[in-house]
Homo-oligomer: A and B are copies of this chain.
């Protein structure tokens, strides 16, 4: 086993989730990530905790989703109808820690599942997701050839990329990001402008900005908060592509009015967005505003876990807001979806907070290169 796999597992167990004796741990990852699962089982045994090991197989879930959709002839949309799986819910209810790794063999495995089917399934799974997110959890990446190919990298170069990113000095990263948290915490209005396509304004008054330094996401490297639900106004051109259900979605443009998605378009695979926005009403509202601050992630790999952390980017997610970000006075946006999309801020771009420029062309006001 590559020694970096054991280091990866230790960072998950110590830094990200803090697994302790007697705790119930769910380890959910595809078969390709078995080395990481083995290393985690070793640590779980060492700590005196108890593991359950789920196989997150995209092949299996594709087979399930397609069969369900095909069977449901009564369903007009042909999407299939799904039940919340009580046994899976019960598993998470009794758990303390959940570790999920991505890393299937083929990132296009679900490309022939209808977007409406995925949306219907997500709705049924929402109580399970909510339960999972109420635990100490970590989402990470195992470097497989499929994800290397998606990034246009050799497998070895991609392994180096992933394990370098995972093994960052998270204390230093936390301190760097704390400066941006300070700016946003207690602020009211955020305005983001980039090129011709993006000029959006939102309130974050009363909400909390969190510092992500490799806990719930590994790698981490962003600060994020929730917009006040009805405050988002303007338009955004998400000029970085995203992968969703095995399909690349490019050139997404969204117009918000009173916080709601008023119209949208995409240059490629727009029908996947239809599935997202039709999932539920919450999917038509922004749940997150995030600012990428990890300059060690220096290339785009078509993987949101990494891409959204890159320096010189901001991202916004339609769908569910994180509970910890939403102040008592504000409404938490709820949805079965949480879809991040990215704006490149490296050129012709500005972030303003309460009328003051805090980032210009990717450089923060607290960095030496500013102005």
B51 and A60 form a contact (CB under 8 A)? yes
How far in angstroms is the closest Cβ of chain B from A87?
A: 4
- A38→B54 CA distance, assembly (Å): 14
Stretch binding the partner chain, chosen from A40-48, A275-283, A290-298, A353-361: A40-48
A4: interface (CB < 8 Å):
no
- A89→B47 CA distance, assembly (Å): 20
Q: Given A24-B85, A91-B88, A95-B87, decide whether A53 and B45 contact each other with a Cβ distance below 8 A.
A: no
Q: Smallest CB-CB separation from A43: which chain B residue?
A: B67
Chain B neighbourhood of A154, CB < 8 A: none
A126: interface (CB < 8 Å):
no
How far in angstroms is the closest Cβ of chain B from A2?
A: 15
B83 and A22 form a contact (CB under 8 A)? yes
- A74→B71 CA distance, assembly (Å): 56
Q: Given A31-B31, A60-B37, A61-B41, decide whether A67 and B46 contact each other with a Cβ distance below 8 A.
A: yes
- A34→B43 CA distance, assembly (Å): 26
Q: Chain A contact residues (Cβ within 8 angstroms of B): what range?
A: 35 or more
Q: Given A86-B94, A87-B91, decide whether A55 and B31 contact each other with a Cβ distance below 8 A.
A: yes
Chain B neighbourhood of A86, CB < 8 A: 24, 50, 94
A41 and B67 form a contact (CB under 8 A)? yes
Q: Given A42-B64, A87-B95, decide whether A53 and B54 contact each other with a Cβ distance below 8 A.
A: yes
A106: interface (CB < 8 Å):
no
Residue among A43, A45, A52 with the highest chain B CB neighbour number at 10 A: A45
A59 and B34 form a contact (CB under 8 A)? yes
- A177→B44 CA distance, assembly (Å): 46
27 contacts between A and B (CB under 8 A): A22-B83, A24-B86, A24-B87, A26-B87, A27-B60, A37-B55, A38-B59, A41-B63, A41-B67, A42-B63, A42-B66, A45-B67, A46-B68, A46-B70, A48-B81, A50-B85, A50-B86, A53-B56, A53-B57, A53-B60, A54-B54, A54-B55, A86-B94, A88-B91, A89-B94, A90-B90, A90-B91
Interface residues of A (CB under 8 A from B): 22, 24, 26-27, 31, 34, 37-39, 41-48, 50-57, 59-61, 63-68, 70-71, 80-83, 85-95
